[in-house]
Amino acid sequence: MKYITYSVTILLLIAFAACEVEQAGNDAEVASDDGWEPREYRTQYQEIRVSQVVSGLENPWAVAFLPDGRKLITERPGRLQIADGDQLTEVEGVPEVQATNQGGMMDVVIHPDYNENGWIYLTFSKPNDGEDTATAVVRGQLEENQFINVEEIFVQNRYSSPGRHYGSRIAFDNEGYMYVSIGDRGADPPRAQDTQDHAGTLLRLNDDGSVPDDNPFVDDPDVADEIFSYGHRNIQGLVINQVNNQIWGTEHGPRGGDELNLIEATVNYGWPTASLGRNYGNEREFHSGTEARHVEGMVDPIYEFLPTLAPSGLALVTSDHFPAWEGNLLAGGLASERIRRLLIQDYEGEYTVIHDEELLLGELGRIRDVRQGPDGFIYVLTDENPGALYMVEPVE
């Protein structure tokens, strides 16, 4: 794998105006999706049908699937909804959030052994006594429309402002470990290189929020025990291959520089010392010099998304319903309003994206989440007000 470089010129990002591309338009009113009819699209290898599952959501952020076929959907203003068919029921008892800018109620994931323990996990922006927030994780259980036995199992180790770059994706590997992405929080990018700070990292935790004894930095006094990898800007797409435990993440660059990474233990992914993007304020490179593309010890992304994707939501296709897409990644895009289907080739341990197909450009709106459901179909959540959940299935 190549090494990225860039000499260091740390700039305070003037990102609020664009608010990360990721934020723009979150609160814009759009026409209701009532009466939305199924549509068919021809892609390069698979004809697909897109149907609306449920609409009327307020800035939805994530979807998870209950064993009985119902779906859990978070809404950024601070709600967890149960979707039963096209009917929504709000769950009571979820934690208080500070829904400012990009903050609020974010990811929802069920435990791999949900049938035995009933645990549901939520990430959210937790307020302190002032205006600062931190990415936090709670777990609880569902009893009718009540969130009960709620436990706060993790809070990042520094509250800060402004309200952006929370990361907040959760994924479980096939050994039951939980990974949580934490963004760099926006205002102070060098935090992602401070190994005592959770900002700009991927964390590895036990399912109760405690630190696994075999975490990669657990015996290093210079690194927070929870950290698995660091140097990330804002991972908002995260999926783990349950066969080989490979961890794939998509994350926001600044202006340009959106990345797909194969995330491995102890690796420094470069931000902000290395970046393929440009500064928001003046579109200048963060680093100067022809040698600035490579910094020793910092690892290249597998792929840079061009044009900008503004990534959020990532799925690995393993379903028999989509044989032509088997093993592909589906990467959702916010401002780009599209999904990118990525075919990745392993050349003796060197991974390369050899094909990139654009799907559903401008058809659904801002894509916030992409998941493969237990039924093998692909589910897509749009970040609008009102937003909607869609199902993608093959046309036989």
Computed on alpha carbons and rounded to an integer, the radius of gyration of the chain in Å comes to 20
- Sign of the C-alpha dihedral computed for residues 340, 375, 327 and 172 taken in this order: positive
Burial grade of 218 (CB within 10 A; 0-12, 13-18, 19 or more): middle
pTM confidence score: 0.91
Lowest mean pLDDT among 105-109, 142-146, 151-155, 288-292: 288-292
Any residues with CB less than 8 A from the CB of 322 and at least 6 apart, and which?
46, 376, 378, 394
pLDDT for the residue numbered 50: 98
- What integer pLDDT is reported at residue 152 of this predicted model? 98
Higher pLDDT among residues 151 and 296, named by residue: 151
* Nearest partner of 75 among 317, 361, 388, 341, judged by Cα: 388
Average pLDDT over residues 256-270: 94
Residue range 289-324, pLDDT digits in tens: 434 456 888 998 999 998 889 999 999 999 999 999
Rounded to whole angstroms, how far apart are CA atoms 163 and 185?
Answer: 7
Residues 6+ apart with CB under 8 A from 10: 189, 190, 272
pLDDT greater at residue 249 or residue 297? 249
Give the span between the Cα atoms of 123 and 120, in whole angstroms: 10
Higher pLDDT, 176 or 11: 176
- What average pLDDT does the structure give for the chain? 89
Strands (E) across 66-177 are located at 71-75, 79-84, 87-90, 105-110, 120-127, 133-143, 146-155, 170-172
For the chain, domains (ranges, CATH) are 39-394 (2.120.10.30)
Cα separation of 48 and 58, whole Å?
27
Give the H or E element holding residue 116. helix 114-117
Whole-angstrom Cα distance, residue 116 to residue 137? 21
Q: Which position among 111, 165, 198, 252 bears the catalytic label? A: 165
Q: How does pLDDT run across 47-95, given as a tens digit for each residue?
A: 999 999 999 999 999 999 999 999 999 999 999 999 999 999 999 999 9
DSSP 83: E
Q: Is 111 a catalytic residue?
A: no
